[in-house]
Amino acid sequence: MEKAVVILSGGMDSTTLLFDIKQQGYEVYAISFYYGQKHNKELGYAEKTCSEIGVNHKVFNLSILNELAPSALTRDDIEVPEGHYEEESMKATVVPNRNMVMLSLATSYAISIGAKKLYYGAHAGDHAIYPDCRKEFAESLKESIRLCDWEGIELLYPYIDMDKGDIAIRGKELLVNYKLTWTCYKGEELACGKCGACQERLEAFKKAGIEDPIKYMDENVKEKFMNKSIYLDKEIEEKIKEMANKEQRSFSYMINKILSEELGDSK
């Protein structure tokens, strides 16, 4: 059986990817990183998921990133911003060069166990805020990873053109247990429902047509998202998609932006 390494944060995207690659018949090895993140409870969920589906799992300490690359995700003196996940304020959650560091270490791990494939769950919804989730970044690093060892490791990123909602739809097909995932950046006992990560998660479940199984500080937030609706004819939908591509934003971001501007004009 061919071996594959999956970078697993414990969030929705990487957990769906883990299920996806396992179903394809690979012997999967999951690798997670502690880098001082406030939401480190995600690692506990990663461990539980791997135990539940019988996947090898290792967690490595990368806390030096907290010293080298300050971010709202790791520093107590920097607040996690609230609002839509593609707003400029969300750039405070960038951990500079995090994915490149993690992918480099995961490559070393893949080489050591004889795995020829390395997967990570970057997706289209991340492109506007996180530069190391862009397709250009992944394609560039793919070649470097291929050349770093005589055997040739292949970096794969199958969700790069999908948004989180598409991933949730795929997870629905794979019967992913999303109760064992964590997304909120604030790392409290319950998900806040207000940070960009929570907003994106709620939008994803709405698109997939399933209820988010985790608890939020305000349980009404799930109902509010599920009840949001807007009708667009095909022509308008295509125009909004063109705008989104031009601005390198997600479709849902453009919808929210247009609605906000309309509501502002009506005041």
Domain-located, residue 223: no
Q: Under DSSP, is residue 253 helix (H, G, I), strand (E, B) or coil?
A: helix
Question: Whole domain around residue 149: which residue ranges?
Answer: 3-180
Domain-located, residue 217: no
Domain-located, residue 141: yes
Domain-located, residue 112: yes
Measured CA distances, 71 to 81, 94, 255 (Å): 11, 6, 28
Contact predicate 39/185, CB 8 Å: yes
Are 134 and 251 found together in one domain? no
Are 29 and 145 found together in one domain? yes
Check which CATH number belongs to the domain holding 48 and give it: 3.40.50.620
In tens, the pLDDT along 153-184 reads 999 999 999 999 999 999 999 999 999 999 99
Domain-located, residue 224: no
**What is the pTM (predicted TM-score) of this model?**
0.83
Measured CA distances, 38 to 78, 185, 243 (Å): 11, 7, 35
Domain-located, residue 107: yes
Of 137, 163, 180, the position where a domain reaches its end is 180
In tens, the pLDDT along 69-111 reads 778 777 777 777 777 666 666 677 777 778 899 999 999 999 9
Domain-located, residue 196: no
Are 250 and 153 found together in one domain? no
Domain-located, residue 124: yes
Residues 16-45 as b/e (b if ≥16 CB within 10 A, e otherwise) read bbbbbbbeeebebbbbbbebbbbbbebbeb
Q: Kindly give the pairing relationship between strand 27-34 and strand 56-61.
A: parallel
